[in-house]
Amino acid sequence: MLRRCWPFPVAALLVLALTAAGAAADEVGGDADPDRVPLGVVMLDGIAFPVVEEHPVAPIVTTPCTNQIRLMAGTRLDTVDIVIDPGHGGPETGSVGANRLYERDLNLEVALLTEQELTELGYSVTLTRRTDLHMPIRQRSAIARALAPQVFISIHHNGGAVRPSDDPGTETFHQVNNPDSRRLAGILYEEIQETFSAYDVEWVDTVHQGASSRLKAAGEDAYGVLRLAPEVTSVITEALYMSHSPEARLMADPEVKAAEAAALARGIDRYLTTDDPGSGFRRSFVDPAMTGTGTGVGCVDPDYASWAEVSSGYTEAEHEALIAAADRLGRSPDWMQRFGVRTLDFFSRLDRRASDVSSPSLRTPDVSGTMVVTSSWTEREREVLRRVADLYGVTEAEAQKLGAELMVVLAGRLG
Ligand SMILES: [Zn+2]
């Protein structure tokens, strides 16, 4: 089988990327260069890799841990309407509720629901992370810059307040010098505040309840996601206090998460389609003590550079059968291919012939059909694909289709 070989060691790649980009080396690790031209992202397995440098073989991108690699697989995406950033992730948990609700998980859940709402409204949306992933702030901003969305929203939930309040302590933060960001923060404050006010809970708040800017002593935005992509209209939402048990309990309710997501989507839609001014504005304030998280210290990437994609072709009829079976199992066609391959591998390891369950599929599948289903394989997972391909004496693309056909048969038996 074709194995990829890497023409340059990683260090040489780094040098090449930095030189070719014409970027000063001191920009790496520091604030972004406001003049840098956005180059889009490569999407692979739901992760956005901002393109740093075009290259005829494959673009050089930054990984979630901000390492530069050459990415051989994935789909290019130039721009979207909205980028949603679920705050924290991985070892950076954010606030933790007394009920063991982690902010990083809650942020992601609300982000995915918000994406769904916005997609239904007709907007194109990308998330900075779709899984529990460690990602430094500057990578989140790099994604924003690369996609140049109309709105970048970083979803957080708050911690720390102890002062009793008659109403929810919602805080939204905007870019200090961007009137659009300020208006968006004011509208989102209205929507979140109205939504949560409907619940009867003992609330807490701080003096910063409302829409404002948190600044460093020098007068710039204290939050990296607001500061590092100055040309992108960006806001942070901090709904509720997870450190306060009644609010953490409320936030664990799926209905409440859905209500917050609907509020965020409504707010973004109002910002994009009306001139509503927003409200709840407070004076910006200096917070020199703010440390924050999201430094990415100790961030470790999987070996993304070795990820590869394998495409299998289907006829229209085969593709329809695959979609129907995938729907029945509540999965995607890509999942059918990958899980099918693992299932074939599993059967072979049981020393049973896969033909016991997949007799209709034992012929070598024809993968020349025009309906193409592509699956991404990490290097380790791909060993399974290679093993199955060898076992049946077929190509990797054919093995993938064999796996999918097995799943279609199994789905039929389940139905
Ligand atoms: Zn947070």
218: Cβ contacts below 8 Å, ≥ 6 apart: none
Any idea where the domains of the chain sit in the sequence?
78-286, 306-414
What's the gap between Cα 306 and its chain centre?
20
Other beta carbons within 10 Å of 192: 25
Distance CA 61, CA 42 (A): 8
What separation in Å is there between the alpha carbon of 54 and the centre of ligand 1?
Answer: 34
CB 59 within 8 A of CB 75: no
Residue 155, helix vs strand vs coil? strand
Amino acid 303 reads D
What separation in Å is there between the alpha carbon of 28 and the centre of ligand 1?
Answer: 24
What separation in Å is there between the alpha carbon of 393 and the centre of ligand 1?
Answer: 51
Strands of 75-77's sheet, edge to edge? 68-70, 60-62, 47-53, 41-44, 75-77
- pLDDT attached to residue 28: 32
**Token pair for 110:** 């609300």
Torsion sign (Cα): 360, 365, 371, 373: positive
CB 74 within 8 A of CB 42: yes
* 310 CB burial (10 A radius; 0-12, 13-18, 19+): buried
The residue written with tokens 């993968």 in the block is 367
* 321 CB burial (10 A radius; 0-12, 13-18, 19+): middle
What separation in Å is there between the alpha carbon of 93 and the centre of ligand 1?
Answer: 8
What separation in Å is there between the alpha carbon of 241 and the centre of ligand 1?
Answer: 10
- pLDDT attached to residue 94: 93
What separation in Å is there between the alpha carbon of 166 and the centre of ligand 1?
Answer: 23
All residues with CB under 5 Å from ion ligand 1: 87, 94, 156
Q: Which alpha helices (DSSP H) does 198-332 contain, by range?
A: 224-227, 245-251, 254-273, 316-329
What separation in Å is there between the alpha carbon of 298 and the centre of ligand 1?
Answer: 19
What separation in Å is there between the alpha carbon of 172 and the centre of ligand 1?
Answer: 12
Residue 148 backbone zone (phi > 0: left; psi -120 to 50: alpha; other: beta): left
What separation in Å is there between the alpha carbon of 171 and the centre of ligand 1?
Answer: 12
What separation in Å is there between the alpha carbon of 103 and the centre of ligand 1?
Answer: 7
What separation in Å is there between the alpha carbon of 102 and the centre of ligand 1?
Answer: 10
Q: List the beta strands (DSSP E) in 102-257.
A: 125-127, 151-158, 163-165, 171-174, 203-205, 210-212, 214-215, 234-241
Mean confidence (pLDDT) of the chain: 86
Q: Please give the chain's pLDDT, 415 residues, in tens.
A: 333 332 323 233 222 333 333 332 223 333 445 455 558 999 988 899 999 998 887 899 999 999 999 888 888 999 999 999 999 999 999 999 988 999 999 999 999 999 999 999 999 999 999 999 999 999 999 999 999 999 999 999 999 999 999 999 999 999 999 999 999 999 999 999 999 999 999 999 999 999 999 999 889 999 999 999 999 999 999 999 999 999 999 999 999 999 999 999 999 999 999 999 999 999 999 987 776 556 778 899 988 888 778 889 999 999 999 999 999 888 889 899 999 999 998 888 775 554 555 444 567 889 988 888 888 887 778 889 999 998 888 889 999 999 999 999 988 887 6
What separation in Å is there between the alpha carbon of 293 and the centre of ligand 1?
Answer: 8
What separation in Å is there between the alpha carbon of 247 and the centre of ligand 1?
Answer: 15
What separation in Å is there between the alpha carbon of 111 and the centre of ligand 1?
Answer: 13
What separation in Å is there between the alpha carbon of 123 and the centre of ligand 1?
Answer: 25
What separation in Å is there between the alpha carbon of 161 and the centre of ligand 1?
Answer: 14
What separation in Å is there between the alpha carbon of 173 and the centre of ligand 1?
Answer: 12
What separation in Å is there between the alpha carbon of 208 and the centre of ligand 1?
Answer: 15
Distance CA 362, CA 37 (A): 51
Its pTM surpasses 0.85: no
Q: CATH number for the 78-286 domain, one of 3.30.70.260, 1.20.1560.10, 3.40.630.40, 3.40.50.300? A: 3.40.630.40
What separation in Å is there between the alpha carbon of 388 and the centre of ligand 1?
Answer: 44
- pLDDT attached to residue 351: 59
Return phi, psi of residue 327, to 5°. Answer: -60, -40
